[in-house]
Structure 1
Amino acid sequence: MTKGLTMEDGMRFTFSRHLSTQSNADFLRRHARRMLNDVHSERPSDALPVARRVHAAGILPFGRLAELYHARTSLQLKHMLRTLAAELGYASWADCKRDIERRPAAELDRFRVDLGAFGDFNQLWFADQAAARRWQRENGGHVVAYGKQAVVMTA
């Protein structure tokens, strides 16, 4: 590890070596394509998690998850992009695309967790960020917010 780096900095340094050099917007576009492929899958174990995310984002007028799940083949890339934008706190994909390059790449780590980018690291899951931060202060690692939960990555 480089002299002067904390464990948190060291973990980020290590993680950054595992990430591609693509822009944040390009990463999100690729992730949205993967989500679209998954939601169109015949396998519920692939399609349902994405359908839940789209439903939770509230970007479509489906009142029930079951309705969205049955209509999932009609979902398009634009719906996945809007879902990702909503998960990041933006009102639209256009707003997200305009701003996302100014944000640290680490803000997209929760999506990298989905893709298995941190498979080389131990992953300790917590019910919330506060619990993860408490554990991290005592033991080190890198905290990644994941919805209402959090994961701490350790070497």
Structure 2
Amino acid sequence: MTKPSRGLNTPENDRLKLILRVAKSLHRAARSDSRPHSLPVLRRLIASETFRHISLPELYRQRMTIQRKHILHMLALEAGHLNWSDYKKKVETQPEAQPLDYSLALKHAGYPNIWFTSLPEAERYAAAQGGQPIAVGKQAVVIPFQERAC
């Protein structure tokens, strides 16, 4: 017996598509020759313990071995799940889940952004210098406040 299809344009599919788009972008960035693009993602991979017992410089040298499954695993860990399979199931079955709140803010944040090892550190910086602190896993980023065109 097959499960009835709810169509492709469901909120669950939209959230899953968003996660997959973010993963694709992070994967590209992780493998980039540009250190400002690759290092934040590589730091997240190490901080989430997706890669263990490897230094940041070594992971940078081996960045072409990073696969999309590593990025998806990192995103699952950052969202509080044990693996991508569990995270995907939750996104597909729980419409109220709001994965990757930070991704939309970062998508339009521009460059450069200032990264911190923790959210409290980013909040202190933002209080003194301005900007919006956003948690990204165990790390955080401060993006500048942007004027909105009307």
Q: TM-score, normalised by structure 2?
A: 0.63
CA-based RMSD: 3.4
Distance 2:134 2:88 in 1: 22
CA displacement at 1:65 relative to structure 2 = 1.6
**Letter of the aligned partner of 2:67 in structure 1?**
Q
Which of residues 90, 110, 129 in structure 1 aligns to 2:81? Answer: 90
CA contact (8 A) 1:109 1:144 kept: no
Q: Which residue of 2 aligns with 1:113?
A: 105
* Structure with more of its chain in helix, by fraction: 1
Aligned length: 119
Distance 1:151 1:109 in 2: 15
Which of residues 23, 28, 37 in structure 1 aligns to 2:19? Answer: 28
Q: Which residue of 2 aligns with 1:68?
A: 59
Distance 1:78 1:24 in 2: 18
Distance 2:38 2:139 in 1: 21
Distance 1:81 1:151 in 2: 23
Matches within 5 A, 1:3-152: 23-101=14-92, 102=94, 104=96, 106-116=98-108, 128=120, 145-146=135-136, 147=138, 149=140
CA displacement at 1:145 relative to structure 2 = 4.1
CA displacement at 1:70 relative to structure 2 = 1.2
Percent identity over paired residues: 28
Distance 1:35 1:150 in 2: 15
- What secondary structure does 2:32 align onto? coil
Q: TM-score, normalised by structure 1?
A: 0.61
CA displacement at 1:113 relative to structure 2 = 2.0
Q: Which residue of 1 aligns with 2:7?
A: none
The one of the two structures with greater contact order (alpha-carbon pairs below 8 A, sep at least 6) is: 1
CA displacement at 1:34 relative to structure 2 = 0.2
5+ unaligned residues in a row in structure 2: which ranges?
A: 1-10, 111-118, 128-132
